[in-house]
Structure 1
Amino acid sequence: MSGVLGRVLVVDDNRVIRQLIRVNLELEGFEVVTAADGAECLEVVHRVRPDVITLDMVMPRLDGLRTAARLREDPRTSHLPVAMVSGCGQAGVSGVDAFLAKPFEPEELVRVVRELLRRETPAPPGKQTCR
């Protein structure tokens, strides 16, 4: 992964938003993998091994809040930084490390992802971190 700043798993049910986030992050040197909803996120997260996850709040099958809660419950993913990206507002959002309101400026998205990458080095698989 030389030259890549980190791997980001982008989870949003809107294909256009997923592509917008992907392009902006890839232009800044990130590797990006996408998922269409929370259920798909939970299916691929262990294979993809992202450094950061961005989650939409309102999605079919499994919404962002429940997805974040399941990520936090799993010792293999509890250490992963999660940013909620939503047009719903921040009220009632918990279990995530950052919140970004839609519509967002691409520079703000990149800043939030970079900040989450710097916040802490992920724990190795099998090691649970306290939060």
Structure 2
Amino acid sequence: MEWVHGDTERLATVLVCDDADQIRTLIRLNLELEGYAVIEAADGIEALEILRDPTVARPDVITVDALMPRRDGWWMVAMIRADPDLEDIPIVMVTASVQPHHRVQAEQAQVDGFIAKPFEPDELLAMVGILAASGRV
């Protein structure tokens, strides 16, 4: 499918889950400038409520922080991967948790992409674009 920039057509829908307002805003603005529709959540519980709400569009890609209050990104990814209705949604972990064991943990959790904070918006846009176009890798 060819994407049209500057038109009303959206590339895809992305659920952005991060407890930091400024990070959600940064990600949302960059995605929206590229033509994505964005849904926001402040933690894993809110994100799962959104994902299970039949009135909300199913996202094509999810970005999630690892460390958040209430329920963190690790819990959220595990819940998504265990749910047959959600398990195929690509997930990009965008986190400051960048120790080598965090990358291994992300791989074991079946995260499709891992981006360290602080990040370059172009890196995030490229990864989201690939995952939105091709699905889980």
SS of residue paired to 2:77: helix
1:111 aligns with 2:126: yes
**Scaled by the length of structure 2, what TM-score is found?**
0.84
Map of 1:55-94 to 2, 5 A cutoff?
A: 55-89=64-98, 90-93=103-106, 94=109
User: What's the counterpart of residue 30 of structure 1?
Assistant: 36
The structural deviation recorded for 1:46 is: 2.8
Structure 1 vs Structure 2 CA RMSD: 1.5
User: What's the counterpart of residue 51 of structure 1?
Assistant: 60
C-alpha separation between the residues in 2 aligned to 1:37 and 1:69?
14
Contact 2:89 2:135 in 1 (8 A): no
C-alpha separation between the residues in 2 aligned to 1:120 and 1:37?
23
User: What's the counterpart of residue 5 of structure 2?
Assistant: none
Identity over aligned pairs, percent: 48
Structure 1 unmatched ranges of 5 or more = 122-130
The alignment covers a number of residue pairs equal to 121
Structure 2 unmatched ranges of 5 or more = 1-7
